[in-house]
Amino acid sequence: MAEFLSRITRRGFAAGVSAVALGLLAGPVLAADPIKIGLVTALSGQSALAGEAITRGMTIAIDEINAKGGLLGGRKLELVRRDDEGNPAKGVTAARELIFREKVAVLFGGLDTPVSMAIVPLVNSEKTPFMGPWAAGTAITKNPGNPNFAFRVSAVDEIVNVGMLNYAQKTFKAAKPGMILVNNPWGESNEAGLKAALSAKGMTAAGIEKFEANDVDLVPQLTRLKAAGADSLFMVGNVGPSAQVVKSLDRMGWKVPIVSHWGPAGGRFTELAGPNGKDVHFVQTYSFFGKQSPVGEKVIAALKAKYPSIKDVGDITPAVGVANAYDGMHLAALAIAAAGSTDGDAVRQGFYKIGKYDGLIKSYDKPFQPGVHDAVQADDYVWAQFIDNKILPVAATN
């Protein structure tokens, strides 16, 4: 009996030691919990291709960061996505879930400006840093939040609008451009920016016409612009409505140059627009065609290795989604590292502490400062068009 009790005692002691050991191990395991990065974007519908491009850009950057040991003493990054279906209300619901349930350190998203505009008040009130890799509405980063938690690596309407006018004048000798704009906050942002750009040169628009996102016939609006003497069109709309502009022009038999924001790049534009979709010139922040920097070569190789469907650079589309998200993710990681924690306000201030970073779009040097929350500036844009269903820089097509 004594020997039996002794064995029990020894076993109990061993079990206790094991429990203590497991308890000691639990601390480091918990300390190494992943840092969650949220993404709210269109993952279904006509713009799903853009949402997938953003996902891929973030994923490649996250893979690189994790391969180097992660952040904050070995914590790995984990991407958590939600589909907003291009709907502001669904975007806010998704953002709330990621902020409150998933407790993301940084929230990426808002493929559509209306979605981002709806999310910005939430991130400001909840002190969650927000990174925009696509939506270009000027007011997303220039919002009333104090402090302001919205940052962006993407196009900015008021900057793009100046570029659209300069490009239309240089390329098409435009003197009396008309506007055909989606009737939502993105369209309003561009209307204000284009009016300002024209006014700065002593010009006015031939006319300004609006359309709804689900319109399938824009002949009436375009007919009014033609009658007003428009010699070119500034177009702002996502994939579907932009395609309807082209098809409506085809029905009218009106050949007029189209200088567009980057909406057509977000999905199945050439399929929806038909053969004349190739005549639309649109802005981009990056192209994987042509000579690449070492970062560009590295990203292309990583994309090919991770996604078998990518055989050549023409398959990396839309390129801006990948490039903006890749750089945005690395900059967000640098902000977290500079903060030394995942506390929202500390990370916000961490963005201001970023120094030099050799990214995909460009080499950044102090890209964010109080009052400057957009890392991409006027000199960072390129112009492109669809050729054989591939987005090519205009210079490469001529």
Q: What is the pLDDT of residues 329-378, one digit of tens each?
A: 999 999 999 999 999 999 999 999 999 999 999 999 999 999 999 999 87
Instruction: Write the single-letter amino acid at 186.
Output: W
pLDDT above 60: residue 98? yes
Averaged pLDDT, 131-140: 95
Distance CA 143, CA 122 (A): 12
Instruction: Write the single-letter amino acid at 62.
Output: I
Give me the domains of the chain, ranges plus CATH numbers. 35-155+289-379 (3.40.50.2300), 158-284 (3.40.50.2300)
At residue 70, the pLDDT reads 98
pLDDT above 80: residue 3? no
DSSP secondary structure string for all residues of 230-265: -SEEEEE--HHHHHHHHHHHHHHT----EEE-SGGG
At residue 391, the pLDDT reads 84
Instruction: Write the single-letter amino acid at 281.
Output: H
pTM: 0.82
Identify the three-state secondary structure at position 46: coil
Handedness of CA 186, 194, 327, 357 (dihedral sign): negative
Averaged pLDDT, 51-57: 96
Q: 35: which 2 tokens?
A: 């840092």
Contacts of 43 (CB under 8 A, 6+ apart): 51, 52, 55, 81, 83, 85
Where does 97-234 have alpha helices with state H? 113-126, 138-141, 157-172, 185-200, 219-227
Identify the three-state secondary structure at position 254: coil
Side-chain-side CA neighbours of residue 139 (13 Å): 20
Max Cα distance, the chain (Å): 107
pLDDT above 60: residue 4? no
282 close to 261: Cβ distance less than 8 angstroms: yes
Contacts of 233 (CB under 8 A, 6+ apart): 177, 178, 179, 180, 225, 245, 256, 257, 258, 259
Closest to 83 in 3D by CA, of 112, 120, 105, 63: 112
- pLDDT (tens digit per residue) in 10-47: 444 444 434 434 444 444 445 479 999 999 999 998 78
Distance CA 356, CA 364 (A): 5
Averaged pLDDT, 154-162: 93
Q: What is the dihedral of CA 21, 26, 31, 34, to 10 degrees?
A: 130
How much of the chain exceeds pLDDT 70, in percent? 91
CB atoms within 10 A of CB 141: 24
Strand 106-109 to strand 150-152: parallel, antiparallel, or no bridges (unpaired)?
unpaired
Closest to 163 in 3D by CA, of 212, 234, 230: 234
CB-neighbour burial class of residue 31 (10 A; exposed 0-12, middle 13-18, buried 19+):
exposed
What's CA 381's distance to the chain center, in Å? 15
Q: 213: which 2 tokens?
A: 């996102």
Identify the three-state secondary structure at position 69: coil
Closest to 276 in 3D by CA, of 385, 390, 393, 396: 385
At residue 395, the pLDDT reads 63
pLDDT above 80: residue 1? no
At residue 14, the pLDDT reads 44
pLDDT above 80: residue 397? no
Averaged pLDDT, 229-258: 96
At residue 213, the pLDDT reads 86
Contacts of 164 (CB under 8 A, 6+ apart): 194, 197, 234, 259, 260, 261, 283
Low-confidence winner among 21-30, 60-69, 110-119, 128-137 (lowest mean pLDDT): 21-30
At residue 398, the pLDDT reads 42
Distance CA 191, CA 208 (A): 8
Distance CA 197, CA 166 (A): 9
Low-confidence winner among 173-187, 219-233, 281-295 (lowest mean pLDDT): 281-295
